[in-house]
Amino acid sequence: NAGVTQTPKFQVLKTGQSMTLQCAQDMNHNSMYWYRQDPGMGLRLIYYSASEGTTDKGEVPNGYNVSRLNKREFSLRLESAAPSQTSVYFCASSFRTLVAYGYTFGSGTRLTVV
Amino acid sequence: AQSVTQPDIHITVSEGASLELRCNYSYGATPYLFWYVQSPGQGLQLLLKYFSGDTLVQGIKGFEAEFKRSQSSFNLRKPSVHWSDAAEYFCAVGAPGTASKLTFGTGTRLQVTL
């Protein structure tokens, strides 16, 4: 099925461990995004990639890195996980950065850092 | 920068009753406006969007929203709620332009009683 696929769906990390969240889309979209969702705070943008080969910081980039591996894939890396990074992470994509197109979201990765 | 406020954290309605979810935005001109719905454990699904033209916008699942420039509002409505509408609803705003990103509200959780 066409859409945005995120892996893994669930993950538990110990403080200080690292991991990479994977995201892939098969809609030939140019732009991709990583958001985190926390109770009472809505969705906050971590990083985005307007097109293949470019990445930029969003509202809450500290503690994260990203890689736009190719047009389809956009990964989010936590180098040294902290309890404050416990959250649900969503990847999204859009045809272009022009927001009129709206975003297509993946089903999320629920991350717990203990 | 744009911002969006959803003043109601939690709303409970009876099945068959009408629904209105409030959304207020802050932006100097006419923004792009969206409503997304998130079912438990799922990603966000686009309900409807507005960026120009008729101020009453029809979406999926029987939802509609009305853009009111004078009130900086984009409230979501449904004439008769179904139990399956129980979910979290997010309003989002984006500034017209190729480099803009969506900014999300904190969400309103809808509970439907039978």
- A contacts of B36 (beta carbons < 8 Å): 105
**pLDDT interval class at A98 (50, 70, 90):** low
> Per-residue pLDDT for A77 more than 70?
yes
For B16-25, what is the mean pLDDT? Answer: 97
Q: Which residue of A has its CA nearest to B91?
A: A42
Per-residue pLDDT, B95: 80
Residues of chain B with pLDDT > 70, as a percent, come to 96
Chain segment A12-36, per-residue pLDDT in tens: 999 999 999 999 999 999 899 999 9
> Per-residue pLDDT for B98 more than 80?
no
Is B99 within 8 Å of chain A by CB?
yes
**pLDDT interval class at A93 (50, 70, 90):** very high
**pLDDT interval class at B28 (50, 70, 90):** confident
**Alpha-carbon gap: B44 to the closest alpha carbon of chain A (Å):** 6
CA angle A86, B7, B55 (to 5 degrees): 115
For A2-8, what is the mean pLDDT? Answer: 91
**pLDDT interval class at B31 (50, 70, 90):** confident
| Backbone dihedral region for residue B71 (phi beyond 0: left; psi -120 to 50: alpha; all else: beta) | alpha
Partner residue facing A97 (CB), from B41, B44, B99: B99
CA–CA separation, A86 vs B37, rounded Å?
22
Size of interface A-B (CB pairs under 8 A): 62
> Per-residue pLDDT for B109 more than 60?
yes
For B46-58, what is the mean pLDDT? Answer: 92
Q: Worst-scoring range by mean pLDDT, A7-21, A72-86, B96-110?
A: B96-110
Contact B49 A103 (CB under 8 A): no
Per-residue pLDDT, A95: 82
Per-residue pLDDT, B56: 96
Q: Which residues contact A39 (CB under 8 A, 6 or more apart)?
A: none
The amino acid sitting at B90 is F
Q: Which residues contact B57 (CB under 8 A, 6 or more apart)?
A: B48, B49, B50, B64, B65, B66, B67
The DSSP letter of residue A71 is S
- B contacts of A43 (beta carbons < 8 Å): 44, 90, 104
Partner residue facing B106 (CB), from A4, A42, A48: A42
For A70-95, what is the mean pLDDT? Answer: 95
Contact B44 A105 (CB under 8 A): yes
For A72-91, what is the mean pLDDT? Answer: 97
Spatial CA neighbour of A19 closest among A106, A107, A86 = A86
Q: Worst-scoring range by mean pLDDT, A96-110, B26-40, B81-95?
A: A96-110
> Per-residue pLDDT for A54 more than 80?
yes
